[in-house]
Structure 1
Amino acid sequence: MEELFVVCPQCQGAGFVGSAPCPECSQTGKAPVYLKIGQKTFFFDFNKLTPWEITKRRSLLKLDFVINFTLYCIAGLGILLLAFYIYQRVIALKVSLPLGFLAKDFWLINNIYLRLFLFTFLSDLYLIYRFARQEELEEYVIKKEYARFPKPGGEKPRLIDITETFNHLTRNILEETFFLAYNNQYHEVNPLHLLATLLPQTTSKIILWRLGINAGVLVGKIKRGLEGCMFAEMHSGVKHEISFSAALQKILLQAYWEVYNRGGNAKVKLTDLWIPLAEVGGYAREILYDLDIEAYKLRHLVLWIELEENLRTKQSHRRGLSQFKSKYGMNRAMTAVQTRYLNAFSRDITSLARQGALPPSLGHEREMEQIYTVFQGGAHGIVLVGRPGVGKSSMVEELAQQMAAEMVPEILQDKRLVSLSVASLLAGGDPARASERLYQALYETAHSGNIVLFIKDIQNLVGVGLRAESGTETMGIDQVLVQILEGGRFLVIGTADYKSYTKYVERSALGQILARIDVPEPNFEDTVLMLEARVPFIEGKHNVFFAYQALEKAVELSNKLIHTENQPEKSLKILQEVAAQVASERGPKTVVTETDVAKIVSRKINMPLAKIEQEESVKLMNLEAEIHAEYIDQDYAVSQVSAALRRARAELRDERRPIANFLFVGPTGVGKTELAKRIAEIYFGSEKNMIRIDMSEFQEMSSIQRLLGTAHEPGLLTEPVRNSPYCILLLDELEKAHKNILNLFLQVMDDGRMTSAEGEVIDFTNLIIVATSNAGTKKLQEKLQQGAKLEEIREEFIKQDLLEYFKPEFLNRFDDIIIFKPLSIADIEQIANLILIDIAKRLELKGITFKVTPQAVQELAHLGFDPLYGARPLRRAIQDHVQNALAAFLISGAVGRRDVVYLEAGGEIRIEKAPEL
């Protein structure tokens, strides 16, 4: 955009050099800043924003108002005079209207009332002339040209003043902006003055509501900014007549360009000033950016506001046109036939459209044009094919609204769009009666002559046979429909998803006669537009307002995290749920923000997505301590895992890959699986959110089908991930799997996806993949026992010992290979203490206190310590010496509520009974 501006090189757009007017601008009559589009040069004439010019313009507007008001009054008087004259003549001649107008002597030219009416009629003509002249003199943004080839001889240079292309409200705002600076003795009108003037406007308040911005905070920043501008002007030492800053000139020129870029042939409105304010607004831009108000958001928001205005106008226009359509299903030629049976098993969608009961629909314009083209081409019917939730039924509702307003091609005009419920039609236990109802309904449709039949999920008709009263099966429903359609008596619109269309419809007789129109899932931009059309209904129902970011976040998160549904349906469901939640928690007339949307999605998938709040921020920064609260030692592993989780939570990771890929290597029993459980608990909410696969079960290449699944059985890997895409994927004993099976995970760790046996792409981008292995740990333990430090032998172990088990390209896919060191006796003591604390918590639920002496902990640690198997023998030791004895006491009733149980040295368990009450 910046390259389109031409700025005076001498004054840099200020209009003054020091205290004197710019000689370049003043002598040549040029403006300090121009907008260049092709051979056309645009400028805003700021000479029209002076006290004298503003006063003159406002006086002329007031004079115009007085003249027009006077002419309106004269026109009203003329109508009264004419009515009184007609009343007199009707009484005098004793005639009835309207035939009385033709009676002899009804019109008397010499009558004073009629003469006065004719005089007022002349003033009416003058009023019409004034309106026509005003419209003729009205200036609009020039229409954008889309010429493929340049005009012969080239385009002639033109200099265009855009001042009059700003609508009345926007001109008033610009004048108020000037007076704000002028009255407060500023030397320069800058974007901050414009921003301050814009804020009180209703449309601006709507923009701030939609963006979730506190107007008071913005006002405070503007005041401080204006004070800073005044301070800078006072200390600059430069004094000159009030001028307009280069940034403000660019804003007005870009506002013109925004309208031109949307097609032109319109006025520059208030909303068009907001976008350039966020792009070239100088200090005003910095204020907006500080509040996260960016130009692209404002551009979408301006389209949203215009969309709401256009929809209101469109709905009103449609309702006006639809009033001419019969409420009883009769066409204009009065040839339509009554449809008694059809009415009982159908719904007239055009009638609902006429009543305004259908929500507005946007998007799929190309597919709507295809519908018109196909019907105009002589087709008997069409079938809309697309995934569930992409808007096939919404397109039919939009068509109904167009038909109600007669804004359709001639072949669809003067017709009703009727939705047939096949399930209701065929319901009942008597096949003969069902057959009769169906034939009657289709017969009525064919003979009505003004019906377009809509059949949702038309594949349900294929292969369904009807039975005659004799019990013999006759032709199928689809064949009956095909026979009637071939007669050309009515049109049909059906819908089907891809799978059903291919399986049932495509090769059937119905598929041969219906033209197929594919309805794709809308892209991000189109989905947001569709939501903007539907959001007013959700807002009205729950009495809340949606911030624009909430709509974007709903589309973004649903695209990223919800793969079982399609747009726009899945985003609409999120918005409906979050609106109900916010209205319930915070009450009516509150703003739904992107954080609210993220919280709702977080609850659905058990994954943190909302904006990081203070409490969670502290938790994330102290993640190592959080993990170590119930996990002993392995500091390096905990540190690396914590860093990966912080990157993911701050959205700094590559979102095309899994959240993190870790390889945990170490001897058995050192805490590899336990650390994976802690990650699942902290990041995904529960250690149950973990998919565990024992890779030792996949030592043969043929076992790959068990992972991916077959046509009859789901995969052990693909199905759990499809159902729970937000969890830890634990690949236990990785080194025992077949080498080619490991190759499957190369694509998963790189691209975050895998294709199942059914051809479905499974999303792995929201998993943390943790693979555990004992590979090479025997050598590792030997070196550690010889006194080597883990930090010193880590690189050697990865580059030499692990390569005996895994290929280099496979190891390179891991974000980190974490080596777990063997546990010491001190570590085992701490682990023993954690296990005993867990036992105490479970006993506390039964009302029993459990206490352990330090000597008892040490003894259990020594009993359960085995350098070869890590902490695993410890659990068996505690189970044998503590849990078995406690279980016996509980079952025998030796211990009860309020009792205290002591575990002492020598494994002795002592019970201190509570005093009787």
Structure 2
Amino acid sequence: MGHTARTYAKEGEVSAALQEWEGKFKELQARREAEERRRFPLERRLKEHIIGQEGAINTVASAIRRKENGWYDEEHPLVFLFLGSSGIGMCWNQGSYLSAVCLQGFIRMDMSEFQEKHEVAKFIGSPPGYVGHEEGGQLTKLLKACPNAVVLFDEVDKAHPDVLTIMLQLFDEGRLTDGKGKTIECKDAIFIMTSNVASDDIAQHALQLRQEAEEVSRRKLADNLEDVQKSDDIKISRQFKETVIRPILKAHFRRDEFLGRINEIVYFLPFCHSELLQLVSKELSFWAKKAKQRHDITLQWDRPVLDLLAGGYNLHYGARSIKHEVERRVVNQLAAAYEQELLPKGCTLRLSVQSEGQEERGTPSLRLEVVGEDSSSRRLDIRPPLNPEH
């Protein structure tokens, strides 16, 4: 039933022994967790799942490290604001992985659902006498169940100003009063807000910084690849944050007290070419795993395929543009070939870039080949879909 032995041992020697060993166990567990944090820093754990964004990872990890090791103000929760290109593909990952490494729950609130004034009741619950009073609020109900959760407020710039007013108390004092008048304490929670405000300004500034870094590396005539890669590690200047970003945030949220309660503003920058290749490789690996699980098909690809698909990156749509490019140019072909019964069960498929003759005409495309047991390859002749008029 979830009870421990100590629950039943009310008094006596057994109770004293259990209490003593419970203390020793907690002390040993704390030492193990501290050793684990030393051996596998949070930055390393996050980088296993997140591509690029060194600055964002370091900023978040530094704040979490303070909390993990007891160097934090226990009267106030940690609050982050994530800014940058839409579809970077990190906010959901970072929130869910933070909840995993911090052994906490994960709550996601889509703030586009709270654009109207009356939807504040949906956030904290209806007051007594109103419909839905007994159900409680979406956020307060979840925070009551897990007061030390990682809470993601997605697209917070779309929320109604009255919802932001409620967050002032939440971010400052770590507590929230629901519609029934009960106070939920959540000082140990971690709050992450995402916003697309100023995303274009941040992206253009980052591209400019990256171009300047590339010019510097060319002037230095870097002899090895490592020197060139270091130029990708760029940082947003403090002057740009104060003179460009802060006025935009102030004009949108219209209150300094809201911005003043944010511990860290984290900036997500556009991907460089090496990061795009990693993104494409990760997306292809995802579909290769699906092909193996669902259809027992082994999917392989050549290096030029990564470069070709990376060309579909759109600055404004972030990692989503890579995902859509892979679906358009690879998964569509796989689905058509499967429908036309061109894929034998248990076969090996190889993706490659079309022959040079096609590239000269300015239309490089992907080619699907079935690889035989003797390493010979046969190109798939996929029929184009019929015109609706026919």
- TM bin, normalised by shorter chain, reads 0.7 to 0.9
Structure 1's unaligned 5+ residue stretches are 1-529, 552-591, 599-608
Partner SS for 2:311:
helix
1:717 alignment partner, SS class: helix
Structure 2 SS opposite 1:632: coil
Equivalences for residues 510-529 of structure 1 within 5 A: none
Equivalences for 1:709-720 in 2 at 5 Å? 709-710=125-126, 711-720=133-142
> Counterpart amino acid of 1:697?
E
Q: Tell me the number of residue pairs that the alignment of Structure 1 and Structure 2 aligns.
A: 324
Verify the 8 A CA contact 2:95 2:152 in the aligned structure 1. Answer: no
Q: CA deviation at 1:721?
A: 2.2
Aligned residue identity for 1:644? A
Between the aligned partners of 1:911 and 1:808, the Cα distance in structure 2 is: 61
Query: SS of the residue aligned with 1:731?
Result: strand
Is the aligned partner of 1:546 residue 2:24? no
Q: Does 1:800 align with 2:247?
A: yes
1: CA distance, partners of 2:345 / 2:276: 31
Deviations 1:289-326, CA, capped at 9 Å, x for gaps: xxxxxxxxxxxxxxxxxxxxxxxxxxxxxxxxxxxxxx
- Which residue pairs with 1:624 in the alignment? 43
- Alpha-carbon RMSD: 3.2
How far is the alpha carbon of 1:786 from its aligned partner? 5.4
Q: In the TM superposition, what are the counterparts of 1:516-915 in structure 2 within 5 Å?
A: 534=10, 536=12, 539=14, 545-546=17-18, 548=20, 550=22, 593-595=25-27, 611-612=32-33, 614-620=35-41, 623-658=42-77, 660-677=78-95, 679-680=97-98, 682-684=100-102, 689-710=105-126, 711-784=133-206, 790-791=236-237, 792-806=239-253, 807-845=255-293, 848-863=297-312, 865-887=313-335, 892=341, 894-897=343-346, 899-905=347-353, 906-913=365-372
- Shift of residue 715, structure 1, vs aligned partner: 1.2
- Structure with greater contact order relative to length (CA < 8 Å, sep ≥ 6): 2
Query: CA 1:643–1:890 in 2, change beyond 3 Å: closer, same or farther?
Result: farther
Contact 1:664–1:672 (CA under 8 A) maintained in structure 2: no
Rounded to whole Å, the distance in 1 between the matches of 2:351 and 2:288 is 11
How far did 1:629 drift? 2.4
> Quick one: distance in 2 between partners of 1:734 and 1:859?
35
Q: How does 1:53-202 map to 2 (within 5 A)?
A: none
For 1:913 and 1:723, the matched residues in 2 are separated by 56
Secondary structure at the counterpart of residue 63 of structure 2 = helix
SS at 1:631 equivalent: coil
* TM-score for both structures, normalised by structure 1: 0.33
Q: Which amino acid letter does the alignment assign opposite residue 740 of structure 1? A: D
Describe the shift of the 1:859–1:748 C-alpha distance in structure 2 as closer, same or farther (beyond 3 A): same
Tell me the alpha carbon deviations over residues 579-605 of structure 1, each in whole angstroms, 9 at most, x when there is no partner: xxxxxxxxxxxxx62257x6xxxxxxx
Amino acid at match of 1:813: R
AA aligned to 1:669 is G
> Following the alignment from structure 2 to structure 1, what is the Cα–Cα distance between the partners of residues 345 and 31?
45
Shift of 1:844: 4.5
TM value normalised by structure 2: 0.72
Shift of 1:780: 3.4
Contact 2:95 2:192 in 1 (8 A): no
Give identity over the alignment, percent.
26
TM-aligned CA distance change 1:727 to 1:834, over 3 Å: farther
Amino acid in structure 1 at the alignment position of 2:79? N
3-state SS of 1:909 partner: strand
Deviation at residue 913 of structure 1 after TM alignment: 4.7
Q: Is the 8 A contact 1:895 1:913 kept in 2?
A: no
**Cα distance in 2 for residues equivalent to 1:766 and 1:845:** 40
Deviates more, 1:716-725 or 1:703-712: 716-725
Question: Which residue identity lines up with residue 721 of structure 1 in the other structure?
Answer: L
In structure 1, C-alpha distance between the alignment counterparts of 2:94 and 2:11, rounded to whole Å: 42
Structure 2, unaligned runs of 5 or more: 1-5, 127-132, 213-234, 354-364, 375-390
Counterpart code for 1:545: A
State whether residues 890 and 896 of structure 1, in contact with CA within 8 Å, keep that contact through their aligned partners in structure 2. no
SS of 1:772's partner is: strand
Give SS of 1:657's match: coil
- TM-superposed CA distance for 1:779, in Å, is 3.4
Report the structure number with the largest CA radius of gyration.
Answer: 1
Deviations 1:850-873 (A, max 9, x none): 22211111111112x112222212
CA offset digits 1:257-297 (Å, max 9, x no partner):
xxxxxxxxxxxxxxxxxxxxxxxxxxxxxxxxxxxxxxxxx
CA distance in 1, matches of 2:326, 2:61: 30
| Conserved 8 A contact 1:752-1:764 | yes
